[in-house]
A = this chain, B = another copy of it.
Amino acid sequence: MREFQLIDRLAARLAARRADTQLTIGDDAAVVAPAPGQVLAITTDTLISGRHFPDDTPAFDIGWKAIAVNLSDLAAMGAAPAWLTVALSTPVLDGPWCDDFVDGALAAIGDAAVDIVGGDTTRGPLSITVTAIGMLPAGAALTRAGAVPGDVVAVTGTLGDAAKGLGLWPARADTGGDPDTAFLLRRLARPQWRNGAAVRALAHAGIDVSDGFGADLGHVLAASGVGARIELAALPASEALRRRAATDEERRDLQWRGGDDYELCLTLPAASVDAARARLDCGLTVVGVIESEPGLRVVDAHGRRCPPFESDAAGWDHFGGRGAV
């Protein structure tokens, strides 16, 4: 298959859904018309085979994840996703592989009003760079800098599943029949982006949990110039993780340091939590409180400080591995 044929094949599957997409794939650039009064959120993320997903990940899951991690970044800003570009580098052009990739990308979009309006296919090592553009009202962006003392810290869904899934990946053939394993592997392979736009008006600050909860919360605290007290035992865990983690210590470590969950960490007034939870379909768990004193105070169920969790909030560094920077 030639590049032009691939582009035609993809373009035929990617007809625009949005009325404000005026020109989609096929010209030098797409043309879109943002709504009056709206500003745009723009983000880009690259996934590289062997680094951001195992080399033997199915094409469907690669397509899913490339889209989901970018829509998660928009969600963390409170933006409603609208347009995507997808740049795919792949060693060989393979029609069925590309179809599966597009299936996964479209499945990650789901029924959201999001158009893939541009792309590029090149021969090279397998990697995908997606750029996502979303809309939100002017002045309403949910940044990392908006946390104020008194806010509660809340997180969607559950934490640590993807990191446990990564640990289970090499032995997945032997554990494929176990529903907990299947759940955890799926959390790794097909992260679900959350509806950040729905809770934008209720929250003060937001970030998505991609590097690890502790690290990502650290970014919010630094940007906002505040501190936080977090109850380790309050971090939400799936039943599957509770059952499959060898020890409570392993589970807590995965919840705190594991990346790739793509849940939202929000800070918001305690009085807004129930309303925010009602606008989401994934749960919203209060795990702590923002304090004026800088720094991160992590306490166990007995109120005792847990220094190892406080000192390791730097998360994942794609070049240097984990550790303080």
Query: In the complex, which of the residues B4, B31, B39 contacts A32, with contact meaning CB atoms closer than 8 Å?
Result: B39
Residue contact A44 to B138, C-beta cutoff 8 Å: no
Which residues of chain B come closer than 8 Å to A46, judged between CB atoms? 87, 89, 120, 122, 124, 129
Which residues of chain B come closer than 8 Å to A92, judged between CB atoms? 319
The distance from the CB of A70 to the nearest CB of chain B, in whole angstroms, is 9
**CA–CA, A137 and B28, complex, Å:** 17
Residue contact A4 to B325, C-beta cutoff 8 Å: yes
Query: Which B-chain residue is minimally distant from A22 (CB atoms)?
Result: B39
Residue contact A51 to B125, C-beta cutoff 8 Å: no
Q: How many residues of A are counted as interface, with CB atoms below 8 angstroms from the partner's CB atoms?
A: 72
Tell whether A159 is near chain B: CB-to-CB under 8 Å. no
Residue contact B122 to A79, C-beta cutoff 8 Å: no
Residue contact B42 to A133, C-beta cutoff 8 Å: yes
The distance from the CB of A122 to the nearest CB of chain B, in whole angstroms, is 5
The distance from the CB of A57 to the nearest CB of chain B, in whole angstroms, is 15
Residue contact B144 to A28, C-beta cutoff 8 Å: yes
Which residues of chain B come closer than 8 Å to A247, judged between CB atoms? none
Which residues of chain B come closer than 8 Å to A118, judged between CB atoms? 42-44, 131
Tell whether A199 is near chain B: CB-to-CB under 8 Å. no
Query: In the complex, which of the residues B6, B29, B319 contacts A42, with contact meaning CB atoms closer than 8 Å?
Result: B29
Which residues of chain B come closer than 8 Å to A143, judged between CB atoms? 23, 27
Which residues of chain B come closer than 8 Å to A2, judged between CB atoms? 317, 319-320, 325
Which residues of A111-170 are within 8 A (CB) of B?
Answer: 117-125, 127, 129, 131-134, 136, 138, 141, 143-145
Residue contact B51 to A123, C-beta cutoff 8 Å: yes
